[in-house]
Amino acid sequence: MNDTDVSTSVLGRLSAEWDTLTPEARKAARYVLENPQDVGVSTVRQIAAAAKVKPNTFVRMARQVGFDGYEDFREPFREAIRRAAISFPDRARWLQGTRKSGAMGALYADLVGAAIRNIEETFAAVPEPALRAAAQAIWASRNVFTLGVGVNNANARNFTYLASTAMVQFHAIPRPGSTPVDDLAWADEHDTIIAITCKPYRSEVVEAVRIASRQGLTVIGISDSPTSPIVLGAAHGFTVAVDTPQFFPSSVSTIALLETLLSFVIASASDEIVERVEQFHQRRHQLGIYLRDSE
């Protein structure tokens, strides 16, 4: 069974059954969802030790989601994707060591390979109907709040800027001088929030999503794990691959997913959207924002 099969069957089943699992079984499920490549090479005792639960917890969890036992459960994971397990500072030290050793060519190859692999793994796990459903929810919304902090603030604002060339209901938050919670004060069930955060998860994003859910907003969560607090319980949850030799998570697949989602929104929109995009760019040409071909 390939990675796509794992993502859409066993991992999807674990996510779907999350609320029915006991607290101990959730520890086992969380480890599997975040470290699928470990399952295929570990005995039940080894993986239980890594997850800090008893071996019988893994057996019971496997049976809860429809398998005969751990060995039956383990089989689909033998070719699962690898994860990045070292810390930001450790990665920074490794990068410095690579430069000093003169191995920049190997680093270049690793970075390019990781970027391509992240995009492939992300879209292999995102079915087209899921993107279409999220896009339709966005188009039907009165307001769409795109939330990211840190590096994801730039990703959220880029998405909002592109959307604003045709639509006025998109708002990047937090606004300057504000907080995400304040920006959502008057939002309700007619609105949508697109939230982005990866490990280590930003507390203000998680809190804003919690409050948004309580206020009835449609939540679209984009994160690096199906057990991320902004993906669990989201109306539309997407997991992006962010592995990289760099010392911070890669944004390549996040940006690619957001661009694809926006394309789906445009495809779901009414016919005048194309005309509005054309008018937007005509206005820019008239204002001299773009260089003329002869310049």
Structural domain includes residue 7: yes
Name which residue leads in pLDDT, 253 or 34. 253
Both 61 and 207 in one domain: the answer is no
Q: Which two tokens stand for residue 64?
A: 């809860």
Give exposure, 241-253, as e/b (b: 16+ Cβ within 10 Å): bbbbbbbebbbbb
pLDDT per position as a tens digit, 123-155: 988 999 999 999 999 999 999 999 999 999 999
| pLDDT averaged over every residue in the chain | 83
212 three-state secondary structure: helix
Of 13-17, 19-23, 180-184, 276-280, give the range with the top mean pLDDT: 180-184
pLDDT at 289: 78
Distance of CA 27 to the CA centre of its chain: 21
Both 49 and 160 in one domain: the answer is no
Owner of token pair 């609320």: 19
Say how far apart CA 277 and CA 166 lie, in whole Å. 5
Q: Hey, which residues does 193 pair with through a beta bridge?
A: 145, 219
Both 140 and 256 in one domain: the answer is yes
Residues written for the chain? 295
Both 218 and 280 in one domain: the answer is yes
Structural domain includes residue 103: no
Structural domain includes residue 176: yes
The domain total for the chain is 2
Say how far apart CA 291 and CA 15 lie, in whole Å. 51
Widest CA span of the chain, in angstroms?
73
4 three-state secondary structure: helix
pLDDT per position as a tens digit, 88-104: 555 555 555 555 556 56
Range of the domain at 10: 3-77
pLDDT per position as a tens digit, 221-239: 999 999 999 999 999 999 9
Is 170 within 8 Å of 269 (Cβ atoms)?
Answer: no
Structural domain includes residue 89: no
Structural domain includes residue 118: no
- Tell me, what CATH number does 15's domain have? 1.10.10.10
Name which residue leads in pLDDT, 54 or 274. 54
Alpha-helix runs per DSSP H in the chain? 3-8, 10-16, 23-34, 36-39, 44-51, 55-64, 70-74, 88-101, 104-124, 128-139, 151-164, 180-183, 203-214, 252-268, 272-286
**pTM for the complete prediction?**
0.67
Structural domain includes residue 149: yes
